[in-house]
Amino acid sequence: MKFTGICKKQGSDGVWYVRTTDGDMDFDPITESEYRLSMMKPSFEELPECGWMPQSFSDKPTNS
């Protein structure tokens, strides 16, 4: 089953990142501050935590 939706994950640098996917395409993760500035819904606090980030994010520091 493919994940569709939005979630957050804290990187090893301490920064929170938000992952968005429609099930067919993973969009580039954005930082918590970028998410808050975009005024997307739901609020950052309501986002579930991700278990992983897409491969395109592998060059950035993340917790695995």
> Which residue ranges make up each domain of the chain?
1-43
Q: Tokens standing for 59?
A: 């060059």
Peptide bond into 61 cis (omega under 30): no
The radius of gyration of the chain's CA atoms, rounded to the nearest angstrom, is 11
* pTM for this predicted structure: 0.71
> Residues 2-59: pLDDT tens digits?
566 889 999 888 999 998 887 777 788 899 999 999 888 889 999 999 887 766 665 5
As a three-state string, the secondary structure of the chain is CCCCEEEEEECCCCCEEEEEECCCCEEEEEEHHHHHHHCCCCCHHHCCECCCCCHHHCCCCCCC
